[in-house]
Amino acid sequence: MAEFEDGKDEGALRTIGEISEALDIKPHVLRYWEQQFSLLKPLKRSGGRRYYRPKDVKLVESINRLVNEEGYTLKGAEAVLRSSGQPELDRRKDDRRSGDRRANVDKGTRRASDIPDLRPQVAATVEKLKAIRDRLGGALEA
């Protein structure tokens, strides 16, 4: 969790400035993430001042790790957070799809390890097709 040097209790509410400084994330990025991640909803008091609860801080830390350290897109990071059901997650890099680096959360998506090895059948089919090609080539020459 982020280290705060303000002497506040660990469960205290934090302002966007405090979060920005502690996590080295610009305030405008935090505001943008609030728009992009429906899970990130800090408290807003009168005048629109934001107050981050400890769970919001953990969520921001998770988003920062996924996006800036592990290379997820914003949509991919949100998919990971939604699939985990909690901001504390420890996803391995091989859990990501190669294209947009999202978590493997779609029900119809399978991992490569789940797919049986069809190479022997493919090789046999290729050999049969080559034999057919050779017979057709011989028939055309005659």
Tens digit of pLDDT for each residue in 19-64? 999 899 999 999 999 999 988 999 988 888 889 999 999 999 999 9
Give the pLDDT band (50/70/90) at residue 113.
Answer: low
Pick the closest to residue 74 from 53, 97, 101 (CA basis).
101
The model's pLDDT over 62-104, given as tens digits with 9 standing for 90+, comes to 999 999 999 899 998 898 888 876 544 444 343 444 344 444 4
Domains within the chain, CATH numbers bracketed? 14-111 (1.10.1660.10)
CA-CA distance, 101 to 92, in Å (whole number)? 11
Q: Which two tokens stand for residue 30?
A: 């935090």
- Whole-model pTM: value is 0.56
